[in-house]
Amino acid sequence: MPSVTLKMIAKELSLSVATVSKALANSYEISEGTKAIVLEAARKMGYIANPYASSLRKRRSKTVAVVIPEIADSFFAKVINGIEEVALSYGYHVLIYMTHESLSREQAIMQDFRSGRVDGILMSVSEETDTVEHITAVMDSNVPVVFFDRVREELPTTCVITNDFESSYAATEHLISKSCQKIAFVGNSPTLAINRNRESGYKSALKEHNISYENVLICGNDPKSDYKILSSLFKSDGRPDGVILSVEKLIPLLYQVCHDLKVEIPSQLKVLTFTNFAMAEFLNPPLTTINQPAYDIGKVAAQTLFKKLARSNHIAEAESIVLPSEIIFRESSN
Amino acid sequence: MPSVTLKMIAKELSLSVATVSKALANSYEISEGTKAIVLEAARKMGYIANPYASSLRKRRSKTVAVVIPEIADSFFAKVINGIEEVALSYGYHVLIYMTHESLSREQAIMQDFRSGRVDGILMSVSEETDTVEHITAVMDSNVPVVFFDRVREELPTTCVITNDFESSYAATEHLISKSCQKIAFVGNSPTLAINRNRESGYKSALKEHNISYENVLICGNDPKSDYKILSSLFKSDGRPDGVILSVEKLIPLLYQVCHDLKVEIPSQLKVLTFTNFAMAEFLNPPLTTINQPAYDIGKVAAQTLFKKLARSNHIAEAESIVLPSEIIFRESSN
DNA sequence: CTGAAAGCGCTAACAG
DNA sequence: CTGTTAGCGCTTTCAG
């Protein structure tokens, strides 16, 4: 069954292709009568517009891309849901691309976008991303980019983030209030702003409370070496009594390390994590979390992108939209 | 910065568009010398083919769709990773669509695919899907569909599944061996084959062991009412001492219900769940799981789809590929 | 081996 | 209000 084209409808109704096209687009140029006839015929014949022909001609794809490190992450999964809701309401398609934390993947993906495949991009950069040329190149070819979560603030566009500094500061103070004296911070990348902000929130709180112990670890993207890095926390002398995880995927590893090294949470180690994870409450022990407003981040980022798409001359200037996170206190930090 | 087209390269090199096109496609018709020159110019000028023009002309999009109920599910997230790996190796793009368990969403999505937007479809149907017309319609327009996990076995195509009957049978036997006498089974849809298979595995095991107590609940897609349904298990007389969850997203709800109603796991209730969830080991108590080979299911499903795409006259017959699941025993069922 | 020409299906000027 | 014409950028006969 070959698909129905405008031409076939036109022939069927003895109209021109142009008229049919306009009628389906509900153009003011076409009489109501004709519109009705065309619509009816299109429905009956099962017409579905060829998106490739239409995109080629219109030079717009009605498609946005979401570029994220990983899909198996409750934060990103929820963000996507938020994005999808907005995109759907605008009649846009959403393409999801995973970088798997690889800069070269990310570069290849962005390169592809210079073809006009998508009208706009929502992006959270990889751990490895320490250059932005691949991003500016796309922006220069008039494809707007909006960042969320893992942003690059130096670029002239909107970043949707949460109050990382403040949350981290509050988290650190919370641990201090639970009489932690040696608090460690585990991040994933020294180059990411999000990580730097959380780290400085942590450090500021320590300074404010005159605590000299500082311990910042950087985990990567390999469970085995990350396991070792986390283990190292407890194998040296300055063994911490509290730890803040900046990365969701480290949760099982940390619980595993504590289990293996018989470090008891929370009596020996208080734990607190940035995450969005539905099961945090039912872990053993229940995990104190900093919940990011993932769904809303997705919505706001998408809305911002569509605003930029609406005006051809969107203003290109750096701007941040900050949505607050929320700390949920549970037993792991008690 | 407008994007570079074939025409621009052709002009630059004083060649015809056709020659440039063929050279870039590495056609045997073009001399090595010309190919080298064209490739070099294309690279220098930053040429990226317009996918819409190319798809329109070739009538193939080099794109496959993944249609799933939800992305925030560790099973589906891993399946996507498997699919992506294979798709990437074939130079295909992957479009992800979520039905959010809505049949009408699913129908709208499938409808769209009749436009030729994608060359093939990998699909796991929604809970609500009790008709397949929207699927056969797409298959009739020559877009091959491969099912995985939530399959419709009556359709003439390949289904990639796991041994649901056997796993469920084994799971039930396991609970019986732990001296459960009243085992409940919680599914999500009476129409889905996957659910029916798990249910019959459960029932067969009970029968085999001469246990007359049977208790099958069906949860939906609304946490609040699901919470009530799960609660009802413990509010009647025939209160179970074991339960098998067929659906990952019910895990937090069940733990919540047990917490609220002070049902202790595993002393009062042994629990076992179909899932793929990395944190199962660190729940309180650690959760016995039936792990599906999600990543491999994705890979095999994608490979099967590409095989179908390779031959224009792919044989349309029902076929199942079964990958085994694995039970991981933990404290929740001990 | 290279090029001219036709056209994928659609939309957008522009005439009528 | 409707139709004609001219492409969008690319691939593919088919001629040379």
Domain count, chain B: 3
pLDDT at position B222 is 84
Same domain for B33 and B95? no
pLDDT at position B314 is 63
B139-155 average pLDDT score: 92
Of B45, B65, B61, B44, nearest in space to B53 by CA: B61
Domain of residue B298, CATH code: 3.40.50.2300
Same domain for B131 and B194? no
Identify the bridge partners of residue B186 per DSSP, sorted by sequence position.
B217, B245
Å separating the CA of residue A15 from the C1' of nucleotide C14: 18
Å separating the CA of residue B60 from the C1' of nucleotide C16: 39
Determine the residue of chain A that is closest to B105 in CA distance: A88
Sort B239 into a burial class: Cβ within 10 Å, 0-12 / 13-18 / 19+.
Answer: middle
Q: Taking the C1' atom of D9, which residue's CA lies nearest? A: B53
Most confident of A57-71, A209-223, B27-41, B233-247: A57-71
CA distance B34 to B27: 11
Same domain for A298 and A154? yes
B196-206 average pLDDT score: 93
pLDDT at position A1 is 56
Å separating the CA of residue B27 from the C1' of nucleotide C13: 38
Same domain for B151 and B184? no
Is there a contact between B279 and A252 if contact means CB atoms under 8 Å apart? Answer: yes
Same domain for B114 and B33? no
Same domain for A172 and A235? yes
- From chain B residues 207-236, the ones with a CB under 8 A of any chain A CB are none
Give the domain extent around B72: 63-162+294-325
Of B55, B110, B108, B282, nearest in space to A277 by CA: B282
Is there a contact between B116 and A282 if contact means CB atoms under 8 Å apart? Answer: no
CA distance A195 to A190: 7
pLDDT at position B2 is 67
Residue A55 lies in a domain: no
Same domain for B38 and B67? no
Residue A30 lies in a domain: yes
Mutate to test the interface with A, among B5, B47, B52, B271 (most CBs of A within 10 A): B52
pLDDT confidence of A314, banded at 50, 70, 90?
A: low
Determine the residue of chain A that is closest to B142 in CA distance: A1
| Both tokens assigned to A254 | 């940390």
Is there a contact between A93 and B95 if contact means CB atoms under 8 Å apart? Answer: yes
Same domain for A38 and A82? no
Residue B66 has pLDDT above 60, yes or no: yes
pLDDT at position A283 is 83
Task: Tell me which nucleotides of strand C come within 7 A of a protein CB.
Answer: 1-14
Which of A211-225, A320-334, B120-134, B148-162 is the least confident region? A211-225
pLDDT at position A143 is 92
pLDDT at position B313 is 64
Å separating the CA of residue A13 from the C1' of nucleotide D1: 16
Which string of DSSP letters, residue by residue, matches B165-189? HHHHHHHHHHHHHTT--SEEEEES-
Quickly tell me which residue has 């009749």 as its tokens: B114
B226-243 average pLDDT score: 87
Chain A hits for B252, CB-CB cut-off 8 Å, are 278-279, 281-282
Is there a contact between B95 and A95 if contact means CB atoms under 8 Å apart? Answer: yes
B16-25 average pLDDT score: 92
Residue B1 has pLDDT above 60, yes or no: no
Q: Taking the C1' atom of C7, which residue's CA lies nearest? A: B57
